[in-house]
Each structure stands twice: as C-alpha cells, then as structure tokens.
Amino acid sequence: MQTAIITGASGGIGFELVNRFLNSGWRVIAISRNSKELEKIKSEHMVLLKADISIKQERERIEKICSTFSDINIVINNAGAFLKKDFLLITEEELSNVFNVNVFAPFHLIQKLIPILNTTNRAHIVNIGSMGGFQGSVKFSGLTAYSSSKFAIAGLTELLAEEFKNENISFNCLAIGAAQTKMLEKAFPGYQAPVSGKEMADFIFNFATQQSKFINGKVIPVSVTTP
C-alpha cells in the first residue's frame, strides 16, 4: 500500500483529497490543526495527526510518526493561511502568520520528509499555490500578504526541483484558481466558482499520482477563470 501525506486536511479541498486517496486504495496521513471533520471518516487506512505545521515541535512530532512508514511517496502541502486586508493596515504579526503557514512551514516540513520518502517509484511533492501567486494573472486589492506568499512557494518549488534533480523526486506547484471553498467565499463573498472543491481535489489527486514522471519543477495554473 502506498501512503500520501496531506496537510490542511480538515476542510475544503484538503478534506476532499483525503477521501479521494482513501477511496483509491491509498493510506493517508492526514494532518490538520482541527480534527473534528476528519474524525467523521471511518477508515483503518487514515492516520490522523492533529498538529500545527507552523510550530517546530509539531513538525518534529510529524517527522517521528511518518518515519515509521516506509511507503510514503506523495506529499501534498495544502495547508494555507488567508488574509484579505488593506496593505497599509497589515501588521507584522499578520504577515508573519501568513508566511509561516504558507511558506516557512512547508519549507521546513519538506526538509524533514525528504529523507524518509520512498523514491522507488519516484516520489512527488505537490505544493498548492494560487493563481494570485502566478506571474501575469489578475491581481486583487487586499491580497498582498496572501498572494506574495504564494509567489514564494512557487519559487521554492522550482528551486527544490533543481537542487534534487538527480534524486528520484518531483516537485511541482499547482496554482489553483477559483474552487468553491470557505476560503473563496471569504475572499469573494457571493462569487460562485466554476468548479467544486471535490472536482479540484480530483484533479490534484490525478496530477499527484500520475504526473511525477513527466513533470518536474513547474508552476502550473489550474483555473477555468480568475474571479
């Protein structure tokens, strides 16, 4: 049995991803600060880790638990912090929180997970970015902190692919567009996305499981339209 690690697994796209992997015969290590929704999933193949990936000690605990599995070959960094606020009003604490969750936490988590990945069939690390952090896409006021953090995770993805090009690991970033989730509703109240969270999760699952041999170091826009 193959194992996938999914962060931000408690809601929206993350929750749908957990179900998609489980229904396809995978073991899932589901990581989230809030375990309430995940506790509703009854599967012997789900390992639920209630943890905050932005905290060093929690990442160390994740590493210790994950190291007991020898078949991990997919990591999906889906956890995200969102902020919509006028640039001049953003505090240092708010900016730090967005970058801690969206950039620094996956950076350090990847450091800890790479040594324990099973690369026999080529491992795949997928970072979930945003169209807001994609070069040339439409930009929106109030999203400076969030979108700039997504630019950072896109750049990190490209750099990791170069540094580990001689290893059997692919790194890609999916710059996802509008999908009907609570985060989208918060950003654009009243907007109806062209795809559901489940449909986006299906795409991410297919990409993560099927494209590691063909695509590496790419930031890929996944959007029918930009709201």
CATH number, domain of 185, equals: 3.40.50.720
Handedness of CA 87, 92, 98, 104 (dihedral sign): positive
d(CA 108, CA 113): 9
Which pLDDT band holds residue 227 (cuts at 50, 70, 90)? Answer: very low
In this structure, is residue 107 part of a structural domain?
A: yes
Q: How many structural domains compose the chain?
A: 1
Average pLDDT of the chain is: 91
- What pTM did the predictor assign? 0.92
Kindly tell me the burial class for residue 162, based on how many C-beta atoms sit within 10 Å of its own C-beta (0-12, 13-18, 19 or more): exposed
72-125, pLDDT tens digit by residue? 999 999 999 999 999 999 999 999 999 999 999 999 999 999 999 999 999 999
12-41, pLDDT tens digit by residue? 899 999 999 999 999 999 999 998 889 989
In this structure, is residue 32 part of a structural domain?
A: yes
d(CA 123, CA 78): 17
pLDDT of res. 190? 67
Beta bridge partners of 128: 174
Radius of gyration of the chain (CA): 16
In this structure, is residue 70 part of a structural domain?
A: yes
CB 56 within 8 A of CB 104: no
In this structure, is residue 139 part of a structural domain?
A: yes
Parent domain of 185 = 3-222
206/185: higher pLDDT: 206
In this structure, is residue 227 part of a structural domain?
A: no
In this structure, is residue 173 part of a structural domain?
A: yes
